[in-house]
Structure 1
Amino acid sequence: MRRIILSTESGADLPRDLTRKHAIQVVPMHVIMDGQDYFDGTLPVEDIYDYYDRTKKIPSTTSTNAHEYHDFFTKIRADFPDCIIIHIGYTSKASSSFQNAILASEDFEDLYLIDALNVTGGLAAIVMYAVNLLEKNPSIEPGSLIEEMEAIVPKSRLAFVPGSLEFLKAGGRVSNMAYLGGALLKLKPRIELVEGKLVSTKKYRGKMSAVAEKLLQDYLNQYDIDREQLYFQYSIGLDESIKKRMDEIAKEKGFKHVKWMQAGAMISTHAGPGGFGIAGLEV
């Protein structure tokens, strides 16, 4: 029986304990700062915030290119001979990375690509869904696994509030930023993935402690999330008291497992310090 290897991008923000435990292969995206190109995962997030404090500019980010994907898939094949690769990619609506993976895949057999139409925790939730399917049924056929994964893609729900709206504004990745108007810096927008695009769907006002709780309550009221697993995302600077309160609410709402995930350098260039997000799968 041939082994199935799962891969994804650094923009999934999967913690290393999970990638190591489940042999999930991760290809880095790029962060460009002061004219230097860094692989996501090699640049401390604190350096990004220090750079902004000094320059009032945020680093730029770029996707993994086709050549890098080719090397990435080649290495997976070398490390896991005769494996079948299933790559779960960062939304094609906000990055060219998935298209580059498609270009690279033309040179490989038994390599399958799934556009997660999601980022960070929403992407991670889909990857971990695949991990759980494989653990429950190690002999599952690749076609069946892919079919189940594609069915879960539209059920992955991500919502987050950036910690710094200046970062969000400077990043320009949200498709309806004009919706926020001139009062942007006085509000905390709720950002979601709508058909793979980052869209502001609501505005909150107040301190992050109150906003985070309101975000979680609204999220759970809007979506019927599987109580088996909930993912919380945060960027460096989120107060520990907020994390504690989010854990309390998740427990009160019946979630069996909660996993906290820190935003990496690439995601943090758009979210800024002190951001909070939620991801899960609808039943």
Structure 2
Amino acid sequence: MSVVVVTDSSCCLDRETVERYGIRVVPLHVISDGRELREGVDELPEDLSKVTTSGPAPAELTDVYAEALADSDGDGVVAVHISRQLSGTWEAARYAADAFGGRVRLVDSRNTAMGLGFSALAAARLAESGATLDEVYTRAVDVAAAGRALLVVDRLDHLRRGGRIGTATALLGTALSMKPVLHLVDGKLVLREKTRTMSKALAKLVDAVVDQCAELATIADPKVAVHHRDAPDRAKSLAEELSGRLPEGTELRVSELDAVLGAHVGPGAIGIVVSRD
């Protein structure tokens, strides 16, 4: 058989890709009116403003890892998960993986959305070629380390409520009517720079992505994912602008953030991930 790759539903990989490469996706949870619902499995509420979220339980991860290991015929499992700074999924995964004697290798992507998805996909593609567990693990780690994620939100309330940014940063975006550009550093969401309007924030976002892709293009063809939450026109416009400024050969995709990430960033949010294979 071959090594099997596992990830979680924050990866933003489409169903066709997941099925094509045999990637196993563990659902994150949305908690609404006391009910714990699984992203990608259960029907979720349209209004995410009052929901909370949680990672999968260790028992859920154990079941998925066990099935994936059996399907690999013992070749092993590489599990690539959302940043431990953003979710409790990593701790649950570490507890679950202990039961498999090193045959389940964990990767903290220090990222989310396609910052996680590109890593899982690169690992799965290599696994398909018959690579060893160590080789697939190393590929997942390398691609995750290359990922850069930037974010602009309409309001910081959602991120503050979920504990993903500090109160001081939230006040920057509300009391002072700022539109900060955020990015992930060592898996944690922090302020990159301050702007006064959404248009200026998005312009800064595009410029940063162009610079990062120019750096990556000296090593390999860059990959870019434009994410949005309830803002398809805004995402399409940004993607069109990027397509004219990115190095030739850059892979560019657009997708909407799923419910768990959407609940934290709120409607109108735009995120861009830059990575390489």
Assess if the C-alpha contact under 8 Å between 2:223 and 2:252 holds in 1. Answer: yes
Counterpart residue type for residue 61 of structure 2: Y
Counterpart residue type for residue 25 of structure 1: R
Gaps of 5+ in 2: none
Q: 1:16 and 1:72 mapped to 2: Cα distance?
A: 17
Query: Cα deviation per residue 1:220-256 (whole Å; 9 max; x = unaligned)?
Result: 22562344421111112x1425413423422432253
1:161 aligned residue: 152
- CA separation of 1:183 and 1:161: change in aligned 2, threshold 3 A: closer
Residue 194 of structure 1 pairs with residue 185 of structure 2: yes
Backbone CA RMSD of aligned residues: 2.4
Where do residues 57-76 of structure 1 align in structure 2 (5 Å cutoff)? Answer: 58-76=50-68
Counterpart residue type for residue 139 of structure 1: G
Assess if the C-alpha contact under 8 Å between 1:234 and 1:275 holds in 2. Answer: yes
- Percent of pairs with identical residues: 23
1:170 aligned residue: 161
1:98 aligned residue: 90
Q: 1:200 and 1:177 mapped to 2: Cα distance?
A: 12
Q: 1:28 and 1:82 mapped to 2: Cα distance?
A: 24
2:47 aligned residue: 48
Q: 2:253 and 2:232 mapped to 1: Cα distance?
A: 17
Assess if the C-alpha contact under 8 Å between 2:154 and 2:268 holds in 1. Answer: yes
- CA separation of 1:139 and 1:76: change in aligned 2, threshold 3 A: closer
- Superposition TM-score, scaled by structure 1 size: 0.85
The 3-state SS of whatever aligns with 1:107 is helix
Query: Cα deviation per residue 1:68-100 (whole Å; 9 max; x = unaligned)?
Result: 111111232455543421101111122221111
Counterpart residue type for residue 90 of structure 1: I
Where do residues 226-241 of structure 1 align in structure 2 (5 Å cutoff)? Answer: 226=217, 227-236=221-230, 238-240=231-233
2:16 aligned residue: 17
Query: Cα deviation per residue 1:151-202 (whole Å; 9 max; x = unaligned)?
Result: 333221111112443322322212x441353542622222211111111222
Counterpart residue type for residue 131 of structure 1: A
2:270 aligned residue: 276
Assess if the C-alpha contact under 8 Å between 1:162 and 1:168 holds in 2. Answer: no
Q: 1:213 and 1:134 mapped to 2: Cα distance?
A: 38
- CA separation of 1:84 and 1:146: change in aligned 2, threshold 3 A: same
Per the TM alignment, residue 262 of structure 1 is displaced from its structure 2 partner at its CA by 1.6
Which shifted more, 157-166 or 110-119?
Answer: 157-166
2:109 aligned residue: 116
Gaps of 5+ in 1: 53-57
